[in-house]
Amino acid sequence: DWSMAEFRRTKIAEIREQVGSSRVICGLSGGVDSAVAAVLIHEAIGDQLTCVFVDHGLMRMGEAEQVVSLFRNHYNIPLVHKDVSALFLGGLAGVTDPEAKRKFIGKTFIDVFEAEAKQVGGADFLAQGTLYPDVIESVSFTGGPSVTIKSHHNVGGLPERMNMKLVEPLRELFKDEVRALGRELGLPDIFVGRHPFPGPGLAIRIPGEVTRERCDVLRKADAIYLEEIRNAGLYDAIWQAFAVLLPVKTVGVMGDGRTYDNVCALRAVTSTDGMTADIYPFDAGFLSRVATRIVNEVKGINRVVYDYTSKPPGTIEWE
């Protein structure tokens, strides 16, 4: 891709110019944006960059391992992996309000990151994988000027508090352009093409209280759903697909026994920027295959439903 090769050269020069000989710290979220930003900045300034991966334990199946191995093995970029799942899940105990979850996760993320940044010592710059839609949405997010529908923690707060300057090389880009840049930088397709994932992770896909057990149940259902989507060759046609674990139990029957277990909702949408979205119209055979597998293979789920709501009036996530 010619334009991305050009963008890469220009940005590398800009990053070097902006940063000089200072140190930069970059928080990885496990997502494509922060990974692409980190790899690009590493290409520009090498070991002046330190990457910190704050692992809140709310990622999808195998995701944390993938990030760590991508950086350490594939790129040989030093990475501090901070497993703080106990801290996050402890703090989420008893929290059911969606915005309270976001606020706690955002704040705790910043606390942990700030402590790590101090350990690294003397970084003047904070790198972020902020995209153009993040820049817009942090000003007004779908609902108009003064209405906050959902607070995102990607933008704001941290740099001022830490008295750091920002390096945001992806600020002008949309998601599809970030993916093209990621490919240009040699990130594996499976990583680059990955569906967007919210900062608060599985916590906002578990309405009601989030526990480690519920995260584990959701991760299994979600992995089956995504595996079937990949096997059917549909992954790239979909913007985001994920399972949601509902705080609702229903009665079922399995073998000759009665079950009383959780409902799992499946969501899949097409979109170009996440601002509006249409449901993905799976065929009935596909959905019943996924439902059967989830109920048979995931202990704790006995019913699966499909979400048919577009955005607007729905949002993509359930919280």
**Distance between CA 218 and CA 208 in Å, rounded?**
13
Residue 31 annotated as part of some ligand binding site:
yes
33 annotated as ligand-binding: yes
- Give min distance, CB of 2 to ligand XMP, in A: 29
Q: Which is nearer to ligand XMP, 16 or 152 (CB)?
A: 152
**C-beta of 245: minimal distance to ligand XMP in Å?**
16
**Minimum CB distance to ligand XMP smaller for 137 or for 184:** 137
Residue 12 structure tokens: 């590398």
Residue 194: both structure tokens together: 């990955």
Question: Binding residue per annotation — 93?
Answer: no
Is 30 annotated to bind a ligand? Reply is yes
Query: From the CB of 143, what's the least distance to ligand XMP, in Å?
Result: 10
Cβ atoms of residues 80 and 68 within 8 Å: no
Inter-axis angle of helices 85-92 and 212-231, to 10 degrees? 110
**C-alpha 193, offset from chain centre:** 13
Closer to ligand XMP by CB, 11 or 102: give it: 102
What proportions of the chain, in percent to the nearest 5, are helix, strand and coil?
Answer: 45, 20, 35
**Residue nearer to ligand XMP on the CB measure, 130 or 302:** 130
Minimum gap (Å) between residue 202 Cβ and ligand XMP: 11
* Binding site residues, ligand XMP, CB under 6 A: 102, 150, 152, 154, 196, 198-200, 240, 274, 311, 315-317
34 annotated binding-site participant: yes
CA dist 28 and 95 (Å) reads 25
CA dist 204 and 44 (Å) reads 35
CA 36 centroid distance within chain = 13
Query: Given the complex with ligand XMP, which of 62 and 312 has the nearer CB atom?
Result: 312
By the 8 A CB rule, do 35 and 129 touch? yes
Give the nearest distance from C-beta 106 to ligand XMP in angstroms.
8
Query: Residues marked as binding for ATP?
Result: 29-35
